[in-house]
Amino acid sequence: MDVILIWDLPARLFHWAFAGSLTVALAIGFLVDDDAPLFQPHMIFGISAFFLLVPALFIPGIGVFLPLGESEGGKGK
């Protein structure tokens, strides 16, 4: 029996990296205050989640705000 993968490896790596960084950032954020030594990793994981999310939203073909086939001028141009 052949295994059929729905998502390819880059999509899986992106999703796991985003989920992991967001989970760690939120966990640290809820468990420590601003003066704790773990606040710096909280910021690093949060920034990592942000920089993983922004290209996923705006890159043509994979983004939700600029889908493949649409230009800045709109459809049918």
User: What is the total count of domains within the chain?
Assistant: 1
Helix ranges restricted to H, 1-77: 9-31, 39-58
Q: Give pLDDT tens digits for 9-61.
A: 888 888 899 999 999 999 999 999 888 999 999 999 999 999 998 888 777 66
pLDDT confidence of residue 64: 63
pLDDT confidence of residue 77: 46
∠ CA 5-6-8, nearest 5°, is: 75
Let me know if residue 64 belongs to a domain: no
Q: What is the mean pLDDT of residues 56-70?
A: 64
Let me know if residue 51 belongs to a domain: yes
Let me know if residue 46 belongs to a domain: yes
| pTM for the predicted model, two decimal places | 0.68
**Domain residues for 45?**
32-58
pLDDT confidence of residue 59: 73
Let me know if residue 39 belongs to a domain: yes
Let me know if residue 19 belongs to a domain: no
Let me know if residue 12 belongs to a domain: no
pLDDT confidence of residue 3: 76
Let me know if residue 70 belongs to a domain: no
